[in-house]
């Protein structure tokens, strides 16, 4: 009896498959089964699996995976028959609707074709209803509401000469773009110094130059490297582009029905003929960056898909061209980063010219604040610009503080119901803003004209920003000669500790005294870790000052590694350290003679002195000894 029932069910299933073949056609049924993961189930010898395939095809649900039991199959087949009947009924209605349209087309002229379609759609309800029309009206009303421009949009530089403190870097950037052979560029620098704005304005300048490779409509495409998310399977890739296959990735409906894959172009093609600006390029996915380097070499993006058939007559010509030739992607890459050059991909650096943007000095910040106040149409109190410069070295942050102070001044004026002709931003407004934001002064150590014993200013670098390292020392005669001790910060780092031991040897070399005869305590104020030996000269000067009681100038900063022979060895970060000394108000900075060529050209506001020995450096730092001071050559501005 069960065998008879099974044979009956087998015939039912076969009949249903025949109906589906008649409805969809054999080829489309196979394509539909492949899309719904039912192709293998269709050809199975297991009745339950063929019934499951029927369910997937009829209900168009690839997630169905539960095999029905033998007793459940009859009920399932009845439900499938009902669903097929509903489908055929809908199809019959659609065919009648199409027949009505054809009859009306024959009755009227072709010029009324659009009217006929609208009429038919209206008779059958159409895609619009009260709810959809209401939502459309809400969207259109929202489009009419616009807030005022943000302060950043108003105060953003509109020309290259409005970018403060970056004249050399901007000149270098523009020169890379206006050349007949433009170069890819990497821009290094701290945040908020104008890297993005400079790149955008540099392209605008290049568009105006006769003979420039950039046309008047050359695009500027901007993206943040840290936000570029992509799928390694190339399902999606907003930067380079991807292929939407007709089954899983949602190709256009007319293409999907004919099984044609559709390439989606990426930002590199959108930037063709212009500039692709990638901010924070150092945060890009390494594999995606490698793919981008390949595009830079080929100047095209290649697409591939197993669904592409070059001999398929249904493939549009533009899709055939994209698959066979690729999409054009000839652009200039400008990448900006706050990372050190050593952290970037060497292959990327080898393909790009490198430009460094300098940290902004307090004088630069004051200029930015005054120019921004002019654009806002407000007046500044006498100490406002200098006060803002105390709390930031970023132009963007300075603008933010100014705009917040402007809003506060505007609020207070309206609350007091005053009708002044212009708004005046005072020091009190700025102080209230920085206190609400819990900001602290950026430069905590400043130069002075005084002299102190055992206190020396060294120089360090964090990122692209130089900073002052305050080193202090105190010394006492040891209780027992030759058994003195040296104490040093535990957190200062092993390399700084090595510098301390080197300083002990040089101390004996220069003074003829043994440091073991003294109890010496050296302290790096703040307890920061010193990365590298560049504080060696500062530590030596602090020890000698403390032991001999010779005051140290407080308007001079030093950097340099000392050898046990008393020579000053080269160190890194010279430009950043010089700018850090300028921010602290130092009048002079001592650098190793070997770093002389790294001094920025045209440096103003500070004297740079190259020295090659510790003895020479001490003459500039310590109060003069009894002997006549020997004059050493100095490196003044631009020399």
Pairing status of strand 379-380 against strand 275-279: unpaired
Strand segments, DSSP code E, in 373-412 are 379-380
Instruction: For the chain, state the CA radius of gyration.
Output: 38
And the tokens for 442? 């950026």
User: Is residue 323 exposed (0-12), middle (13-18) or buried (19+ Cβ within 10 Å)?
Assistant: buried
d(CA 481, CA 479): 7
d(CA 103, CA 106): 5
Pairing status of strand 262-265 against strand 241-244: antiparallel
Pairing status of strand 465-477 against strand 455-462: antiparallel
- Helices within 416-493 (DSSP H only): 427-436
And the tokens for 595? 């770093």
**Which residues are catalytic, by number?**
534, 577
Closest CA to 355 of 334, 371, 375: 334
And the tokens for 306? 């197993």
Q: Using CA atoms in the order 455, 460, 462, 463, what is the torsion angle rounded to 10 degrees?
A: 160
DSSP state of 160: G
d(CA 366, CA 372): 10
Phi/psi class of residue 56: alpha, beta or left (left: φ > 0; alpha: ψ in -120 to 50)?
A: alpha
Q: What sign does the CA torsion over 123, 124, 130, 134 have? A: negative
Number of H helices and number of E strands within the chain?
Answer: 23, 22
Give, for 253, the enclosing helix (H) or strand (E).
Answer: helix 253-257
Closest CA to 499 of 571, 439, 601: 571
Angle ∠(625,630,631) on CA atoms, nearest 5: 130
And the tokens for 326? 């690729």
Q: Are 503 and 546 in contact (CB under 8 A)?
A: no
């Amino acid at each position: 009896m069960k065998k008879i029932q099974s044979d009956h069910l087998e015939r039912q299933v076969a009949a249903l498959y025949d109906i589906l073949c008649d409805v969809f056609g054999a080829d489309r049924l196979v394509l539909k089964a492949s899309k719904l993961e039912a192709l293998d189930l269709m050809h199975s010898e297991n009745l339950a699996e063929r019934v499951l395939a029927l369910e997937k095809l009829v209900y168009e649900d690839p997630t169905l995976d539960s095999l029905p039991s033998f007793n459940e199959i009859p009920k399932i087949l009845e439900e499938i028959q009902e669903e097929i009947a509903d489908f055929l009924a809908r199809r019959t209605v659609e065919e009648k609707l199409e027949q009505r349209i054809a009859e009306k087309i024959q009755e009227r002229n072709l010029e009324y074709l659009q009217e006929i379609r609208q009429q038919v759609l209206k008779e059958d309800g159409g895609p619009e209803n009260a709810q959809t029309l209401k939502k459309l009206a809400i969207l259109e009303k929202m489009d009419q509401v616009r807030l005022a421009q943000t302060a950043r949009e108003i105060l953003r530089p509109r020309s290259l000469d409005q970018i403060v403190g970056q004249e050399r870097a901007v000149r270098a950037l523009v020169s890379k773009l206006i050349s007949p052979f433009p170069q890819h560029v990497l821009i290094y620098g701290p945040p908020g110094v104008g890297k993005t704005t400079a790149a955008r304005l540099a392209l605008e300048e290049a568009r105006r130059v006769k003979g420039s490779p950039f046309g008047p409509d050359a695009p500027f495409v901007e993206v943040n490297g840290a936000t570029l998310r992509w799928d390694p399977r190339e399902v999606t890739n907003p930067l380079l582009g991807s292929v939407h296959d007709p089954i899983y990735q949602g190709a256009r409906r007319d293409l999907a029905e004919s099984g044609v894959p559709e390439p989606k172009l990426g930002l590199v093609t959108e930037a063709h003929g212009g500039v692709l600006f990638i901010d924070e390029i150092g945060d890009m996915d390494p594999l995606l960056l490698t793919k981008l380097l390949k595009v830079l070499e080929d100047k095209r993006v290649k697409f591939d898909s197993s669904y592409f058939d070059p001999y398929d007559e249904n493939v549009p010509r533009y899709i055939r061209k994209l698959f066979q030739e690729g999409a054009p992607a000839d652009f200039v890459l400008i990448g900006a980063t706050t990372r050190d050059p050593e952290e970037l991909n060497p292959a990327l650096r080898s393909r790009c010219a490198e430009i460094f943007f300098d940290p902004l000095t307090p004088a630069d910040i004051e200029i930015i604040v005054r120019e921004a106040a002019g654009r806002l149409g407000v007046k500044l109190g006498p100490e406002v610009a200098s006060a803002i410069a105390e709390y930031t070295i970023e132009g963007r942050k300075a603008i933010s503080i100014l705009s917040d102070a402007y809003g506060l001044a505007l609020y207070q004026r309206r609350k007091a119901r005053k009708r002044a002709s212009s708004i005046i931003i005072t020091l009190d407004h700025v102080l209230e803003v920085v206190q609400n934001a819990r900001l602290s002064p950026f430069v905590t150590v400043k130069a002075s004209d005084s002299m102190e014993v055992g206190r020396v200013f060294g120089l360090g670098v964090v990122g692209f920003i130089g900073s002052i390292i305050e080193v202090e020392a105190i010394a006492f005669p040891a209780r027992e000669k030759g058994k003195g001790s040296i104490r040093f910060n535990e957190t200062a780092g092993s390399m700084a500790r090595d510098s301390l031991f080197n300083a002990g040897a040089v101390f004996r070399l220069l003074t003829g005294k043994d440091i073991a005869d003294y109890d010496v305590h050296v302290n790096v104020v703040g307890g920061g870790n010193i990365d590298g030996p560049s504080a060696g000269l500062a530590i030596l000067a602090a020890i000698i000052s403390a032991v001999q009681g010779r005051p140290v100038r407080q308007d001079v900063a030093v950097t340099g590694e000392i050898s046990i022979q008393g020579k000053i060895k080269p160190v890194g970060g010279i430009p950043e350290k010089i700018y850090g000394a300028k921010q602290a108000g130092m009048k002079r900075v001592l650098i190793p003679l070997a770093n002389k060529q790294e001094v920025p050209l045209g440096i103003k506001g500070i004297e740079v002195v190259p020295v090659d020995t510790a003895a020479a450096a001490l003459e500039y730092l310590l109060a003069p000894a009894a002997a006549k001071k020997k004059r050493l050559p100095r490196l003044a501005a631009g020399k």
